[in-house]
Amino acid sequence: MSKVLVVFKVFVTLLFVDVLHGLPYSHFQSKKRNGEEREPHITELFFTQTLDHFNFNSMGNGTFNQRYLLIDNFWKKGYGPIFFYTGNEGDIWEFALNSGFITELAAQQRALVIFAEHRFYGRSQPFGKDSFLIPQIGLLTVEQALADYAVLLTELRQQLGATECPVIVFGGSYGGMLSVYMRLKYPNIVTGALAASAPILSTAGMGDSTQFFTDVTTDFEKVAPECTNAVRRAFQELKELADNRVFSHIQSELLLCKAPTSEQDIRHLYLLLRNAFTLMAMLDYPYSTYFMGKMPANPVKVACETMLRGSDLLANLRNTAGIVYNTTGTLACFDLYGLFIECADPTGCGLGYDSLAWDYQACTEISMCYESNNVTDMFPPLGFSESDREEYCFRRWGVVPRPNWLKTQFFGDELSSTSNIIFSNGNLDPWANGGVRQSLSPSLVALNISGGAHHLDLRGSNDADPVSVIIARRTEANLIAQWVDNERIRLRKSP
């Protein structure tokens, strides 16, 4: 049965940030060409989605409104491919505004573009303000999200006369993981996947728990070894003050709104500061951005310059954290618990309702037991073992994590039986070593982007892009065009 597609509609001409900048290679130019409009026009729509795809008696066979964004002004109707972004842990507009490569490629390959919002994020709240109560939150799973995308794709292809149009899925970070999983679970719908910065191995519990913060440290060390030494010394000064309970001095040096009074406050301060360095390493783009907050160009370099400015290491540490937490320079003080929330993801869950959703996912299927140790990294020793995760998650959500489930459910590192997936990673991205770094077959291709931060290749083209990402996008474009052509040949041969 056909579902109601439109509940609310907004039609805009999207002015992408850092998108459509005039690429160094002409076939990605997103301007008027031969009289054709080359700017993406986005329509915001809602789809009546099934609440529980796997239990027919659950929730009274209820539905909810799932938001998605549609760009159809490039599409050769009924023939061009469908480029489908598997939305991840946040408002879908933020990912659309920071994934301009997809629309550039759509303009080249005359594709229909869909950005789908993940259930329990943004405006796709199944139960409104009650979405994060127990047991409602139990419907937030990877499997339910993938089924949402499969149903949405199937219905839209029917309604838009696109049943013969090959589908390529795109995603970055967790969204990249979902793109891989869509190709694995629904190969009848999805022809291929571009998974950018997708840590499908580390989030399945495979790898070294110290690797992530070691790689964050390496990013800063590459800029200047004395930078990481300064960070270590600053944290050591902070520890000495905390050990001697000189909390008022910590407050004045770091401009905290309230003085810490306990070991828990000091731990939270360490986490807040570590999170600032993590975000700068992830978002170390060669130009200023607004994604997960405002960030200057080359933030790791800016941070190191700040850490090495003068002899007051705690003031330098405060100002370096301010690159993330006080981008406008208007904060009079840092609210320790207002700027950062400790959760089941040691790399940070963000703030607001989206942080609740991600915390729950990190407590169930997605394993992120990453630790800093002050030996292989520059941060204070902050453990987060599987037992720590279990204790926190049971206390917070009443659940016990399943640390091996993603590995069991989604092939782990045994991916050779699938096909048509690009795994792209930048060497500046601390998530990179949690993903696939070596090609597994001619159609399971790993692209390693020198000078690339977190899914840089999904961003729109920019004059400051390194040559490596320009080459990576060309490779991605060629592989995707090949997959689309092969799928058309296969469909023509089918009875």
Q: Which of 99, 131, 173, 372 is catalytic?
A: 173
- Ramachandran assignment for 412, one of left (phi > 0), alpha (psi -120 to 50 degrees), beta (any other): left
Which one of 91, 265, 377, 429 is the catalytic residue?
429
Instruction: Please indicate whether residue 173 is annotated as part of the active site.
Output: yes
Catalytic residue among 21, 53, 118, 454: 454
**What are the residues facing 295 on neighbouring strands?**
289
429 flagged as catalytic:
yes
Beta bridge partners of 112: 82
| Catalytic positions, written as ranges | 173, 429, 454
